[in-house]
A and B are shown apart, each in its own frame.
Chain A
Amino acid sequence: DVKVTQSSRYLVKRTGEKVFLECVQDMDHENMFWYRQDPGLGLRLIYFSYDVKMKEKGDIPEGYSVSREKKERFSLILESASTNQTSMYLCASSLPGEGTDTQYFGPGTRLTVL
């Protein structure tokens, strides 16, 4: 079974802090994704990566950056956290080439910025 883990289930940070959200997958997947999910807005793609050191902007990259130094790990960075970044953050991975692009999600990190 694919396992995607996220470093924290709940996180509380202060405005202006630098925040790191870590995601690790154990199935050798090339693709990894970061989403945020807000009531009424659904899942929105922030960044994704299709290979080590490669990254692409999603629909809402402003205020975020990412890092992928190893295949299994994809980090989301909030350079200077703001209250409007309070949200549920979900990481996912997928294996390209299998013809389905099925994504496997982690349990999520609920981030509160005060």
Chain B
Amino acid sequence: SQKIEQNSEALNIQEGKTATLTCNYTNYSPAYLQWYRQDPGRGPVFLLLIRENEKEKRKERLKVTFDTTLKQSLFHITASQPADSATYLCALVGGYSTLTFGKGTMLLVSP
């Protein structure tokens, strides 16, 4: 069956460092992969999408890579700030335009 895995342990980093989050998937051949941010008690918010023919995508301090051979996406936040603290979810598209989400990784950026 299709499976998406994100590191369940929280990632703690210091302000100014680069945070790197991992999303691994099995039994999928996705055309694209999405990343969302979720703050406590709120709905997820879309951040970035990367297509299978794109190796890398950037948006301000965010960078996403997509390796279809390794079946892995990496999500980087450079020059991290305490305001970046949140849970980050990756998602893959299924049938009828549904998305299957990973369980998310919590990022904690300390001053």
Contact = CB atoms under 8 A, between A and B. Distances in A.
A55 B89 CA distance: 26
Interface stretch (A43-51, A65-73, A74-82): A43-51
B46 A103 contact: yes
B74 interface: no
A96 B97 contact: yes
Interface of A is mostly: strand
Contact of A106 (B43, B49, B91, B103): B43
Interface residues of B, number: 22
A24 interface: no
Interface in A55-112: 56, 58, 88, 90, 92, 94, 96, 100-108, 110
B48 to A, nearest CB: 10
B59 interface: no
Contact of A102 (B46, B89, B102, B103): B46
A4 to B, nearest CB: 8
A101 B98 CA distance: 8
A56 B98 CA distance: 11
A110 B43 CA distance: 11
Interface of A: 4, 31, 33, 40-43, 45, 48, 50, 56, 58, 88, 90, 92, 94, 96, 100-108, 110
Given A33-B98, A48-B98, 4 more contacts: A45-B98, A90-B43, A105-B43, A105-B44
